[in-house]
Chains A and B, each alone.
Chain A
């Protein structure tokens, strides 16, 4: 790791100010990707600005079916939240599948979304729930937020402070983990509710997380695993790597989607 200055701001404004004064600075919100990248000397920020200790970015509130999760909330907190579980257990299930206990107690929802790893779990949850991503001076629908591999609609200096969504009638998440990293080789989040039927796929797309229109149409007509039997998944837009070919992932997308529908609550 190259030497870097560490900052621990207590407000969003202070964090933005520090970054403005450090052109080579980076926000860190758990550091589950950033720190290993720095240790391998693949990133060399001059300053790292830790967002995990900003009070206004912490905590979970559930009001009726409206859910708000502060961006600095850890995966472990989401996984174990009784309030979220009461309205959207699929999201708790998803958070509990991320990494290992160490990662779940350090990593945050805001950090995961801002990083937009193509194999991360949360982007599928955000897209599959139709969340709104809220920050300092912006509100972006999840549909517009995830723009490519490790790419988002965030502009320089912007900080995610919370995500909000209306809990769906039912939702499910099924993940087929990469045997080495335990990231998603393929993960599919399905939901049905005020936002319609949504099928969001992570781990498989060559451009990152995506919605599968064919499956959404089929499930809108008939919310059941069998409805997906006739849907074909095109392998041409999917990832191929050491662990799985595009064809294999295409199969997993369908299998995981069916199982997610079957498990949806």
Chain B
């Protein structure tokens, strides 16, 4: 490990511009003649549109045009789609209703876009939007998933009877029923996974530019995956063919999943730019972000876990209802199925698992992947069930987990996943040691003397990352492959550009990826630049989500580096008249092993481009491209322990300590990995204690549409985290990386809730564990 290479705690190169206000975000982009868009949105959660009258609005000052969904449809722009086909257990395909970029027949959630106003200024666009007269016929509303599938509930899409999108299953139902029937003990619990708003710091924005001279479109957008955006907008929405559409996602201020998807606004602004002949920019305000960014989670599950007389799990039965909102967003169908139920084995050797999942339309904003995406739901369900079982069985939660850990690899679970490597006991031991688990009874007694209730809880999570092997996901219904691509371009002076299809929106790729190159060739970090986020610059890509940039994105870079290194060695061998197999790359030089012959890196690069003296038949240049398609998912895992102190008089929970012991495989930059864990835990604490999207069930109005009512975690809600890493290298990719982006948000909520329920002696508690809920539960407990 060098000071800047693999394993070094290098501070982030990109932070200079972020911390000095020099970041360039979509809303910072301006082009000559640019105008501003404001969307007319539905104030109702469910209504038929009778008429849209924009005549008054069109004559207002500064207004260029007002466009609606009828015009959009007439121009052949397609509906938004979900890109992952799921079949119900009866074999029928999922029942997807149309999502029009601009609704003109019916609106289905508060915030559904109805028309776009383009004007000289944002103020004028907004003034005119208020003057667009839309006549609505209000319909009955349903916002809660379990209510939406009851007979007589309002019908949201004609295509899906009783609002049921699919009724899917995985695993062996009969085997699980038999296990439950023969069990010495069955733990039963109902699990709610609360609905969350993603709230990235930068709201969504887009700038659509149509060039009449070239018949070409440029789309600046806040995307985690610009190439996917281009593909989908071309292939499904008929905005423009790929060669006529450039998508640029410049600096992006956080995504957490919410910026994976294609939303109506990008499509409509591109189309409006052609329609009006001017570039059109739209930037979401915070209220719009709450109303229209895809939400996360929102599951209700019934769980039965069966144990034999030796406390071994012999079966797990799960019945889940998942709320997908008013329309099916891009990956919405995959989240509560293949990203969720396939992880229900957790870290445990469970011989029989069956999960049934029903997904449901409601009059709420679409729900899709949010940091963790399905895996937090699986982990929360399993780890609350394990803790509950340990209490019922009267054994320590650590002991119950140890007894059931998977200990040999590879391990085939009954729900598709084949775990490749791990050491769950190592993380458990590390976490218990760091938390001083054995000292807890004394700390509890001390707190009790002060009138406080102390509790401790753990969570052993596993996730499937490095998304994903293309053939495998294809067989499960994915509409795309999930490989990654990279190009390593060595310039004639030896500096290096890496063009990657991964997209950094907070992950620190410009540093971590550069470390990889620096480590390989011994060149300074500053001589390596990472290029991403522009479909005209970067060859191809699938973007960043599912903790895939390390395991998949960097693996592609490694493949390209291999090719560059091989060619550089050939050139060096030729120049130094040595055998290619004797050339080594060290400290920025190519050396002939065992001799004092060396060539600086830059001279080899220069030789590649002057091409005056290359091996016979070799093409000039030093630039290589690679695609990497993983052979399996990766399986980060770990143990989180949380210790809390509850004030029984107010219900306030104070987190005394939070311990994270993670196995992410090999680590390139520990500083950045720790930052990812810190941020993930903060989000997990937010879910467990504070955050909750609340729709009024009668009207479908969003009651938590601002930070005045939607409680985000803040620094003073959090302790300093105790973070450690245990390493079992991933055997299936060249760097042995598993991924770290989502673990914190996956592992932390059950640890926190288990700690609170331990403190108050009452397991009847749902997230978020607000002060009122904890106060009530504490009074009912003990």
Which positions in A face B, CB cutoff 8 Å?
1-3, 40-41, 176, 178-181, 242-245, 248, 251-252, 255
Contact = CB atoms under 8 A, between A and B. Distances in A.
A188 to B, nearest CB: 12
B410 interface: no
Contacts of A41: 126
Interface stretch (B200-208, B469-477, B768-776): B768-776
Given A242-B694, A252-B650, A255-B650, A180 B707 contact: yes
Contacts of B775: 248, 251
B704 interface: yes
A244 B650 CA distance: 11
A178 B651 CA distance: 13
B703 interface: yes
A208 B704 CA distance: 22
Given A242-B694, A255-B649, A181 B771 contact: no
B560 to A, nearest CB: 47
B704 A242 contact: yes
A242 B650 contact: no
Interface residues of B, number: 25
Contacts of A244: 771-772
Contacts of B709: 180-181, 242-243
Contacts of B704: 242
B690 interface: yes
B772 A180 contact: no
Given A180-B710, A248-B776, 4 more contacts: A2-B123, A176-B771, A179-B690, A255-B649
Contact of A176 (B650, B707, B708, B717): B650
A178 B771 CA distance: 10
Contacts of A251: 649-650, 775
B287 interface: yes
B712 interface: yes
B711 interface: yes
Contacts of B770: 179, 243
Contacts of A179: 689-690, 711, 717, 770-771
Contacts of B127: 2
A181 B690 contact: no
Nearest to A40: B287
B532 to A, nearest CB: 34
Contact of A245 (B707, B717, B772): B772
Contacts of B776: 248
A118 to B, nearest CB: 13
A68 B694 CA distance: 44
B330 to A, nearest CB: 30
Query: Among the interface residues B649, B694, B704, which one has the most CB atoms of the partner chain A within 10 A?
Result: B649
A41 B703 CA distance: 18
A180 B714 CA distance: 10
Interface in B38-85: none
A181 B707 contact: yes
Interface in B697-743: 703-704, 707-712, 717
A244 B123 CA distance: 37
18 contacts: A1-B123, A176-B650, A180-B707, A180-B708, A180-B712, A181-B708, A242-B703, A243-B770, A243-B772, A244-B771, A245-B772, A248-B651, A248-B775, A248-B776, A251-B650, A251-B775, A255-B649, A255-B650
A179 B689 CA distance: 10
Contacts of B771: 176, 179, 244, 248
A215 to B, nearest CB: 16
Contacts of A2: 123, 127
